[in-house]
Chain A
């Protein structure tokens, strides 16, 4: 065919005709080329990111930071992690406890290491001291604004000086970083905190959390928009509900594959100030020594235990009744700090006609609840269903990363409904992520009908989420008339989430750490739900002027004390409390002169004020700037670690020789006791996760080390995925290229012909 055309052109005696044919051919090809370019452009436009962009966007999934931590690997291969030992020493003096946590980092490798360890503390702990012991030198840390502390630490790290940094990630999660631990060397980091002893239902208690449970961090899909009243409608969408997900996720060791780590020794010295009766450790075997009637020394029976569950200790006075009033003071400078406990008298429940209630039960059946936790949660909920009264109405919501609301609305607590709820709850299985906010939203959605009734939300969860703040904001925005009662489940519940959610929801919280505790704790909780509260509380000082926290006194439930902290200018006159128990007025007067000496009360007061400022910030009663200003001022004045301040200690002598690299080691943690590794990390075992490199920041000399296990191999029963690429794109691009070359060539020919 082309032969013929070619022949025609060549044999043509008419130059004009030959030119016309050439031009036609050219135009034809050009038209085709334009068409093709158009098509190509169309296809290109379908793929806005033509460059090879990784699947990282889809991978922003729950716990990814964790999987990253699990798999990260540096170019220089694997390094050994430093070993960690923990010693907790608590002295309880009357109403307060002072704890000294010593972390011993032993570098067993031949390299210089930087160790990073994420650990929990009680949510109301006032951390005020950091000491670092290198060889025979003790370096005491200073409190600094967080950024400044970080800069000091990073600089010391670069200069080869040994340095320690304590930062707060959540009120109950802290990070210790320790730079420049020499080969074979042991460095001690010691922090100290002050804490108030809690008092409830006839017992005093102390809780020492030992492990940060793996948190579920919701992915940044739903953007939350923060519109401020003064912004004229313009705001920024914040993408990530857990912006610091990397900082709160440690590598978690699979108990089936590795021995427990982080051996912990605990000693509690109880100086109760009264003759002590029963002392009980709920989750650990302990030995109790009694040097005298008012003192007990509690040590672990096994010597050391792995840090995999909370340590919980309760003690009771030998006398039958708990003291109903406690009053303590501490003088610091020219101010006096006061701590008062008042347990209102119990009004017999029969004296009151119980108010009919709407109770919404919410149960977390996410993967983190797998193992013993879900059994405790189900037992608790079944107990609660059994306690419902005929006049009550109820509903049940279960959630993981999905949610089921059992009944369309609240239903009467009759045999039929309670029966179907019971079988629904019994059939629950723990699985999936923890999307707590939608569940809380559903529980707080109040149809407003029958506003005479008391509306109570009972929320059972381990609180293993990283987006606590979102939950608090949901509660603040939607609580209405509902009251929220948190039931913390498992061996290492998120106590910060429980206490703050209950505070914002004007309810109470309790912890259930074992199936044996279910009945006792749920009975107490139900006593609170069913009995009148002390409302309308107010406090007045007759002579002293006081800065009181909490500023607005909350309602107090049965068996709970009202706890007040105040900064007063002089210790004189009295403190009068007024309120109502049910319909009856109630008044109590405490003479301040009778207050006993307490320890560390100023720190407790400051910590509570800081907590108040954080709450005010959540509730938009203070602007973020005002709240941050107040927190920073209190923290600097009282030397406390907060969201905005850190403790940093730097040894003055540079020790790491120049050019010697420093490796970063993030210390692994145990899985909390009773958790099911498969339920939390199961999917990663079925589908091998993609390997993700994590680079150390900035300096070339700091390389990332990895202490991590290899990728779990694929299961044997596996399917082969078919070939799923065509050569369409390749052919089209090649064809296009050839046509373009052709065009250029033709143009050249044409020009030559024209010449």
Chain B
């Protein structure tokens, strides 16, 4: 009876689509729990700890914005696989606290959703894998094209850039990136 076949197929397609989307969020949330544990172990042991046995990346930093109650773990590298689980420390950019610009990227709809709420003047804490914490203060925000970021990772003193896709609410991918710039105020 085709009048039941068609609705069922459509329902399955709908569910599959929704499931796909929900899975991305679920992965992002669950992975952070495992990453957090792995990162704590990394600090405790001093060695890189894989969050799960088959992972191809390791947690390298924790990004904390106290005002927003945000704490998220960043992974080494900014490949698509890494970004599914956490923010990525863009290859070839500085470590927090070191001279140069440390650049972190993450998806606008998962780990860096909070960027829209970060205001100029907010403090951003970066915990490195050696346990040292560096406090930055957000001092500028820009929208740039992905290939014209103007960020020279070797330039300047210890600075931090958090980047994600722009506009925040778009449903499709675009060439624009939102870039939040912060400058080191204190390390410990």
Contacts and interface: CB of A to CB of B under 8 A. Distances in A.
A432 B157 CA distance: 12
Nearest to A432: B183
Contact of A688 (B79, B138, B150, B167): B150
Interface string B170-188: 1111100111110101100
Contacts of B90: 719, 721-722
Given A686-B155, A718-B148, A724-B165, A401 B139 contact: yes
A726 B110 CA distance: 9
Contact of A733 (B79, B110, B171, B180): B171
B5 A724 contact: no
B56 interface: no
Interface residues of B, number: 84
A538 B113 CA distance: 65
B4 to A, nearest CB: 5
A36 B18 contact: yes
A297 B164 CA distance: 64
A686 to B, nearest CB: 6
Contacts of B171: 729-730, 733
A690 to B, nearest CB: 5
Interface string A1-40: 0110110011000000000000001000100100010010
A723 B147 CA distance: 11
B68 interface: no
Nearest to B155: A686
Nearest to A10: B1
B21 A717 contact: no
A725 B120 contact: no
Given A9-B4, A688-B142, A725 B109 contact: yes
Contact of B140 (A402, A683, A737): A683
Contacts of B14: 734-739, 742
B44 to A, nearest CB: 30
Interface string A25-57: 100010010001001000100110011110101
Contacts of A57: 119
Contacts, number: 226
B151 A718 contact: yes
Given A46-B113, A731-B17, A735-B15, A724 B150 contact: no
Given A719-B103, A724-B105, A742-B7, A714 B148 contact: yes
Contact of A729 (B5, B21, B119, B120): B21
Contact of B139 (A25, A433, A690, A746): A433
B137 interface: yes
A732 interface: yes
Contacts of B121: 219, 221
Interface stretch (A58-66, A76-84, A288-296, A696-704): A58-66
A2 B179 CA distance: 49
B120 A734 contact: no
B118 A58 contact: yes
B71 to A, nearest CB: 16
B181 A687 contact: yes
Interface string B83-102: 11000101011000000000
A721 B161 CA distance: 11
B141 A735 contact: no
Classify chain A's interface size: 35 or more
B30 interface: no
B149 A721 contact: yes
A749 interface: yes
A2 B8 contact: yes
B110 A721 contact: no
B88 to A, nearest CB: 7
B70 interface: no
B172 A58 contact: no
A735 B135 CA distance: 42
B179 A735 contact: no
Interface in B1-25: 1, 3-5, 7-11, 13-22, 24-25
B116 interface: yes
Contact of B120 (A61, A686, A714, A717): A61
A732 B169 contact: no
A746 B4 CA distance: 9
A430 B160 CA distance: 20
Interface in A356-385: none
Contacts of B173: 723, 725
A278 interface: no
A745 interface: yes
A449 interface: no
Contacts of A32: 15
A584 interface: no
A221 B122 CA distance: 9
Contacts of A10: 1
A722 B109 CA distance: 14
Interface string B129-163: 00000000111111110111111111111000001
A47 B1 contact: no
Nearest to A753: B3
A39 B22 contact: yes
Contacts of A60: 119-120
A687 B144 contact: yes
Given A9-B4, A683-B140, A731 B21 contact: yes
Nearest to A61: B120
B62 interface: no
B107 A51 contact: no
A133 interface: no
Contact of A722 (B78, B137, B153): B78
B60 to A, nearest CB: 15
A664 B112 CA distance: 41
B80 interface: yes
A62 to B, nearest CB: 8
A583 interface: no
Contacts of B9: 2
B150 A687 contact: yes
Given A731-B18, A731-B21, A732-B21, A219 B5 contact: no
Nearest to A725: B165
Among A32, A688, A719, A749, find the residue whose CB has the most chain B CB atoms closer than 10 A. Answer: A719
Given A58-B180, A715-B150, A726 B109 contact: yes
B106 interface: yes
A350 interface: no
A62 B168 CA distance: 24
Contacts of B137: 401-402
Contacts of B15: 32, 735, 739
Interface in A657-692: 683, 686-690
**Most central of A32, A36, A219, A687 by chain B CB within 10 Å:** A687
A724 B79 CA distance: 10
Contacts of B93: 719
B123 to A, nearest CB: 11
B103 to A, nearest CB: 6
Contacts of A727: 20-21, 24
Contacts of B167: 52
Contacts of A746: 7
Nearest to B151: A719
B144 A50 contact: no
A415 interface: no
Given A6-B1, A60-B120, A741-B10, A730 B18 contact: no
A216 to B, nearest CB: 12
10 tightest Cβ-Cβ pairs between the two chains A and B: A735-B18, A738-B14, A732-B21, A735-B17, A714-B150, A731-B21, A728-B24, A725-B165, A739-B14, A221-B121
Given A686-B150, A714-B150, 5 more contacts: A6-B1, A52-B169, A61-B141, A686-B156, A746-B7
7 contacts: A55-B116, A61-B141, A221-B119, A715-B150, A722-B78, A727-B21, A733-B171
Interface of B: 1, 3-5, 7-11, 13-22, 24-25, 78-80, 83-84, 88, 90, 92-93, 103, 105-110, 112-113, 116, 118-121, 137-144, 146-157, 163-174, 177-181, 183, 185-186
